[in-house]
Structure 1
Amino acid sequence: MTLTTVPMSIDVGGRSRTLSLVEGAAAPGRALLLVFHGSKQTGVAHRRFTGGSFDALAESGAAVVAYLDGYQRNWNDARKESAFPARVENVDDVSFTRRVIADLVASHDIDPRRVYAAGYSNGGQMVLRLLHEAPELFAGVAIVAATMPVPESFLAPASDPEPVPTPVLLIHGTRDPVVPYEGGRFPAWVRRFLKVDGVGRSAPETARYLARRNGILGDPVVADLPTGGQHRARTWVEQTDFREEGRPPVRLLTVHGGGHTVPGPRRAPFVLGRTAQDISAAPLLAEFLEITASGGRRLSA
């Protein structure tokens, strides 16, 4: 299927905001996937960074994929101590997200009940903010290389349980040099270079926190995720599932040996650590959140 990429511009509160839209053949009632990039990136840069793997959702006819651009290459993710322009100027990225969804639902025949978000690093933090301020927008989300801030570092309102429970997929490397898997404060070099700060929960604590907000109080089920690939000696994946009848699930994929990276076909720069290439975030997201083409065909992992 031929893909079409269309740059778009939207005025939100007097600011011109941009995104790149990727779609295949038009189909009624398609899903919409919003992709939020990491610090110092743009939507186009993140598309390259992930090897265009999320485009497969558009190619299969399952969804329209929108790569959103943060303000001056960052998102106002509600981390209290951060000092990049989007945060300092209190850019309204929640309204930007709402506007993108409303416009694309109207113009591209998208089912408003099938809107999803995927965020990496600062983009993952932005998705966490959206879960707290506008959870009704999404049928499910995926968060890569980002953890939940502790209450003292988070400006968005928190409620327990969540008013709109949402399925959540988390992916995090145990050797992430930017956002520590074990939680705590950002490393000093990250604070200086990216102008981010604050204290985060660990990845497992983040998963448990989100599960509790979904009303899941029991212990998770933990198992190795079989990949059978040639890279297992470098990275391997452990799957932690929080599930309860009638509650949206939360899944944490722990990439043992993995860095501050998005699993998939494109290897990240070495400074970010190892990239798991026996799995790919895009089909894992599609399977977990049940984003399928009209014929029910899932993306292969």
Structure 2
Amino acid sequence: MFKKIVILAITLFFMVLIIFTAIMFLKSEETLYTYEDLAVSIDKPQFITIGDAQTESQGAVTEKVHVLSFLTLSIGSLTITEQQLPNGDIMLFDKVDNSGWMPFTVTVKLTGLEDATVTRWNEEPMLQADEAIYGNDVTRNPYGTVRTDSTETLVGNIYVSRELTLGNGDRVQELRHEIHEFTVEEGILSKSFWLPPKHQSESWMLISSEALFDSPETETDWVQFANANRREQFNWLTPVGPRQKIALTEDLRTELAYAIPDQPEAAYTEWFEQSSARYFESMAQYLAQ
């Protein structure tokens, strides 16, 4: 009798393991956004259902919110926000909010990159100065620029964070992971990550039908400048403004706390006046909106 119970328990264990594996790793893909030859899609677990988009437009900003559900139960949301800049470029933001009780994997794909030229912005080690006021800003430069025949896209990194309240009452985002290594294969750029419960992921892209830089030298000079001047550019961008490392407090969680500054300042305008590169113009316009 005991032997039968053991065999039954082992059988049930492996059945549960197989079902769990299928739930967690079987994938389905849905297209979320298109522009020219580019398309943004999400590759998510089969068990997650993406609801129809609830669309809201205000001026140059269009926001589409999809409810994520599991067996009809809401477990979070997926938000795609398109912000059209005055010069015609597009800031595209994606946010995945896991409000449920289990982690899941997500892959955001940018397709239409056949024969694209990729310039990485994170080839050199970041300079991590021991900043007495703000501490180390652990965010890195964006992934880099991707050039096709019709578009040029600056691809930002993925920021996985959770919202928390500091001891002084400030609401901030605590950065848990920054994902800056992506794959580019067969015309597809893939950004994959795990999203823990009660966490959000945020990422962004700047899409232009024009060259973002007037020369490769200007692009290289900017990347080197950004490496050495961490508070002169913004890496973690959102539809309502950039997140920046906040000043340290007695609350130890401020070592990884980021918030949106009231009046964001950066070197983009100054660099645009010197070079007329479209990237600096677009970033200055993003900050001004």
The answer to whether the superposition gives a TM-score over 0.5 is no
* TM-score, normalised by the number of residues in structure 2: 0.29
* TM-score, normalised by the number of residues in structure 1: 0.28
Structure exhibiting the larger radius of gyration computed from Cα positions: 2
